[in-house]
Chain A
Amino acid sequence: RKEVEQDPGPFNVPEGATVAFNCTYSNSASQSFFWYRQDCRKEPKLLMSVYSSGNEDGRFTAQLNRASQYISLLIRDSKLSDSATYLCVVNIGTGGFKTIFGAGTRLFVKA
């Protein structure tokens, strides 16, 4: 079993739609969580951190469920520019930690 698992998609949605991605992690020593965005042939860029209380940044909302060991990302009012691969990222350990990336979920937003 992979340490971080995501549905690879692709998710094909129309502009304006709401779309949600889930990510599960297996290591209970996981300490911090992030969503990164990666455009085709580009480097990953931080989209948002994920906190237990949940957090929102504009059209994006991230949630963490430690009991069930999953995190989610909700995108409201999808834009064409949201088309990308969304990577779930988990840091395991404390102090010097190891970063594990999921394989990513591909999103295509169409007009």
Chain B
Amino acid sequence: GAGVSQTPSNKVTEKGKYVELRCDPISGHTALYWYRQSLGQGPEFLIYFQGTGAADDSGLPNDRFFAVRPEGSVSTLKIQRTERGDSAVYLCASSLTGSRLTDTQYFGPGTRLTVL
């Protein structure tokens, strides 16, 4: 079946611009996660949704970052006034319930964001 998809695969923007990154999780998965991965580092947790609500947004670095999941499926990560330090690969993952400790997270291919 279809896995997690993310669009765009690459995004180049200028400092100060606004960007939106989209994630389409596996159908039926209630939990959705956003991570950011910089070169040579592991994925860094940003936010976790259980259904439509953000269950944990403690990883968002500042108020320029915001994410929504209005219908409990597709999610959009929004970054305002982008900075060069925001350049990274943004990964989305989904899991069946998110409430079980052994839930497997399935990752999408990521969006490579470059801020010039």
Residues of A within 8 A of B (CB): 4, 8, 31-32, 42-46, 49, 87, 91, 94-104
Contacts and interface: CB of A to CB of B under 8 A. Distances in A.
B101 A96 contact: no
18 contacts: A4-B42, A8-B40, A42-B109, A43-B91, A44-B91, A46-B105, A49-B102, A96-B48, A96-B55, A96-B98, A96-B99, A98-B56, A99-B33, A99-B105, A101-B35, A101-B45, A103-B40, A103-B41
A87 B105 CA distance: 13
A45 B59 CA distance: 21
B108 interface: yes
Contacts of A99: 33, 45, 48, 105
Given A45-B107, A96-B56, A102 B42 contact: yes
Contacts of B55: 96
Interface string B86-116: 0000010000001101101111111000000
A98 B45 contact: yes
B80 interface: no
Nearest to B99: A95
Contact of B42 (A43, A45, A87): A87
A19 to B, nearest CB: 19
A46 B104 contact: yes
Contacts of B43: 44, 87, 101
Interface in B55-92: 55-56, 58-59, 91
Given A43-B91, A43-B107, A96-B56, A101 B44 contact: yes
